[in-house]
């Protein structure tokens, strides 16, 4: 095997080992739902990063580009959720709640 293939295999094995450490497939999705929008977006970002790493190791450039685009969008949503929380906290303070 070529060095390139050996590196891909090693990366895939590492990604699979990480996935195995996190528990059975889908266990993270079966966990109780996060309480806030920020937590939900944060969970989505972590899953997208995991998908990005796996697609990089699998040498799937088209899918990788789409996941990277989705990751950028999700990071923007995370910033927006943070701003939304700050605005609602300020409004609650002003109302004395």
pLDDT band at 32 (very low <50, low <70, confident <90, very high): low
Give the span between the Cα atoms of 33 and 80, in whole angstroms.
20
Give the span between the Cα atoms of 31 and 27, in whole angstroms.
6
Q: Residue 45: is its pLDDT beyond 90?
A: yes
Torsion (CA) 7, 11, 14, 19 in degrees, nearest 10: -160
Beta strand segments in 9-94, E: none
pLDDT for the residue 24: 55
Q: Residue 15: is its pLDDT beyond 60?
A: yes
pLDDT for the residue 67: 96
CB 40 within 8 A of CB 34: yes
Provide the whole-model pTM. 0.60
Between helix 37-58 and helix 61-95 the angle, nearest 10°, is: 170
């Amino acid at each position: 095997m070529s060095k390139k293939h050996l590196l891909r295999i090693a990366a895939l094995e590492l990604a699979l080992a990480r996935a195995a450490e996190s528990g059975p497939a889908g266990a993270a999705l079966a966990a109780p739902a996060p309480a806030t929008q920020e937590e939900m977006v944060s969970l989505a970002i972590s899953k997208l990063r995991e998908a990005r790493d796996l697609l990089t190791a699998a040498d799937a450039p088209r899918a990788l580009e789409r996941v990277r685009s989705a990751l950028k969008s999700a990071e923007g949503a995370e910033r927006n959720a943070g701003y939304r929380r700050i605005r609602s906290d300020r409004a609650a303070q002003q109302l004395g709640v």
